[in-house]
Amino acid sequence: MNAPTLLLAALLVSANADAGEVQVAVAANFTAPMQRIATEFEKDSGHKAALMSGATGKFYAQISHGAPFEVFLSADDETPARLETDGLAVAGSRFTYATGRLVLWSPREGYLDDKGEVLKKGDFRHLAIANPRTAPYGAAALQVLGKLGLQPALTPRFVQGENIAQAVGNKFIKLQLELGGKDPTYVCEDADPKAAAESLADGAMYNTGQSCCSVERIYVHEAVHDAFVQHFVATVNGMKRGDPTDAGSYVGAITRTPQLAVLKAQVDDAVAKGATVAIGGQVLPGPGNWFEPTVLTNVNHTMELMREESFGPVIGIQKVSGDEEAVALMNDTRYGLTAGVYTRDEAAARALLSRVNAGSVYWNCCDRVSPRLPWSGCGDSGVGLTLGRQGIQTFTRPKAWHLRQPA
């Protein structure tokens, strides 16, 4: 396998050349050196490089849908080429800024051999790789393991750490990470569709959907689906959009400009796969970053909208046949921050919520946090916990005192 090649491309954006700041998307593996380069660039030119680091694949999706980056430092050579083919990068601007290689590393001195035979022995618990869906080095690692015939045996041992965890893991620093969510709620057959719709519309649109525990996907029993959607759309339609300092405004602007492209990409993907836009769906003119409060129906799990975090005023509503389908869909995610159930039956709610993988669960409510209760997540929603007595204890270390009175 060829060593991964890191390419830089200039992107086609509408920008002011005299603005004094350039927007740079940089692959996560090159963040540290790029920060030093940006510092020197500012010293030499007087201009600032505003950096955003992340996975190459995610940057491709954001740039394709209008994210205003002007320079892209990719972790492979394929993505910049695709952007140029798509007409989104300046033709001929690509060049190789570094050539990388995969390295097998262990903190245990003398554990590894120069041929990687340790991979075949398998006397280890975990093998950390970058996310192969979005990071070229993760994909390259899978290629190597596949060529060695080891991928099937080692796949159960894969762990895909996030950047912060990787940075502090070998320093034995206590860590709490909340890494996102795709928070589901199920509206049962016996629920009041109007009351549930009004509550969940608030849970989805509060703070313009920019809350860690915002409702991000809703499953509604077919018996109450149509009535629920009608009341939900009416509630969202009645929310005033405007200046957040105005007491009458309920939905405001998006905090980060690149997030507009993420939201638009999710809506476009859903519509292309058969979803119906019941309300909204468009980026609005500024000043500021505005996206219409958006409700989509006829959605399913082939759509990014129902699988990846939105973090904005966008929600999908899916009709389900009953409890079993609802629970299966709620758990069909790599996240597990919060989840909720709307039903008149407390025992039924307890039974359903006990089967859902989430750190916090709600019965007939949503999008709330209590300082008395621990706050945590499952899966890619993070590690560790905060709040409550347990959250405080996470960052404390007990000391044992053994005392004896002198004779």
CA 365/CA 361 separation, integer angstroms: 9
Residue 105 belongs to some domain of the structure: no
- The answer, yes or no, to whether residue 92 has pLDDT greater than 60, is yes
Q: What are phi and psi of 212, to 5 degrees?
A: -60, -30
Assign 109 a pLDDT band (cuts: 50, 70, 90): confident
Q: Catalytic positions, please?
A: 178, 212
Distance, CA of 46 to CA of 259 (rounded, Å): 28
| One domain for residues 221 and 351 | yes
With vertex at residue 9, the alpha carbon angle to CA 6 and CA 160, rounded to the nearest 5 degrees, is: 45
Check residue 300 and give its pLDDT: 96
Cα torsion through 335, 338, 342, 347, rounded to 10: 100
Q: Are residues 326 and 192 in the same domain?
A: yes
Whole-angstrom distance, CA of residue 156 vs CA of residue 127: 9
What are the tens digits of pLDDT across the range 132-145?
766 677 778 888 88
Integer angstrom CA distances of residue 149 from 37, 120, 312, 314:
40, 9, 43, 43
The three-point CA angle 319-263-69 to 5° equals 160
Determine the pLDDT at residue 69. 86
33 has a pLDDT exceeding 70: yes
What would the mean pLDDT of 70-96 be, rounded to a whole number?
87
Where a domain ends, among 142, 169, 196? 169
Question: Do 124 and 90 fall into the same domain?
Answer: no
Check residue 97 and give left, alpha or beta (phi > 0: left; psi -120 to 50: alpha).
alpha
Asked whether residue 265 is domain-assigned, the answer is: yes
Q: Are 253 and 163 within one domain?
A: no
Domain co-membership, 197 together with 304: yes
Is 362 a member of any domain?
A: yes
Residue 165 in domain: yes
CB contact set of 235 (below 8 Å; sequence gap of 6+): 197, 198, 201, 202
Using pLDDT thresholds of 50, 70 and 90, give the confidence band for residue 168: low
- Locus of tokens 């019941």: 278
Whether 167 has a pLDDT exceeding 70, the answer reads no
Of 42, 65, 99, the domain-final residue: 99
More confident residue, 159 or 88: 88
Nearest to 332 by CA among 351, 308, 350: 308
Look at residue 166 and tell me whether its pLDDT is greater than 80. no
Q: 344-369 pLDDT, tens per residue?
A: 999 999 999 999 999 999 999 998 88
CA distance to 73, 81, 339, per residue, from 26 (Å):
5, 16, 34
Residues forming a β-bridge with 48:
21
pLDDT, tens digit (0-9, with 9 covering 90-100), for 323-348: 999 999 999 998 899 999 999 999 99
| pLDDT greater at residue 84 or residue 306 | 306
Cβ count near 403 (within 10 Å): 4
Three-state secondary structure call for residue 218: strand
Residue 243 inside a domain? The answer is yes
Residue 350 φ then ψ, to 5°: -60, -40
Q: Are residues 94 and 11 in the same domain?
A: yes
Q: Is residue 233 part of a domain?
A: yes
Core vs surface per residue 34-45: b (16+ CB within 10 A) or e: beebbeebeeee
Residue 152 is part of which domain span? 118-169
Residue 1's pLDDT band, with cuts at 50, 70 and 90, is: very low
3-state secondary structure of 309: coil
Residue 382, pLDDT score: 76
Per-residue pLDDT at 53 exceeds 60: yes
pLDDT of res. 82: 87
pLDDT of residue 16: 45
Domains contained in the chain, number: 3
Considering the domain architecture, whether residues 314 and 360 belong to the same structural domain is answered as yes
Decide if pLDDT at 195 tops 90.
Answer: yes
Claim to verify: residue 252 and residue 349 sit in the same structural domain:
yes
Residues 38 and 124 in one domain: no
Mean pLDDT on 222-227: 97
Average of pLDDT values for 8-16?
Answer: 52
Pair (152, 277) in one structural domain: no
Sign of the Cα torsion 127, 129, 133, 137 reads negative
Residue 178 lies in a domain: no
Give the per-residue pLDDT at 139: 78
Report how far residue 249's alpha carbon sits from residue 242's, in angstroms, rounded to the nearest whole number.
Answer: 5
Q: What is the pLDDT of residue 113?
A: 82
Give the pLDDT of residue 344.
97
> What CATH number does the domain containing 258 carry?
3.40.309.10
* pTM for the model: 0.62
17 confidence band (pLDDT: 50, 70, 90)? very low
Residue 338 falls within a domain, yes or no? yes
Tell me: do 231 and 267 sit in the same domain: yes
The whole-chain average pLDDT of the chain stands at 85
Same domain? For 41 and 135 the reply is: no
What pLDDT, on a 0 to 100 scale, did the predictor assign at position 18?
Answer: 47
The confidence score (pLDDT) of residue 22 equals 85
Report percent pLDDT > 70 for the chain: 90
CATH code of the domain covering residue 46: 3.40.190.10
Give the least confident one: 13-22, 85-94, 280-289, 388-397. Answer: 13-22
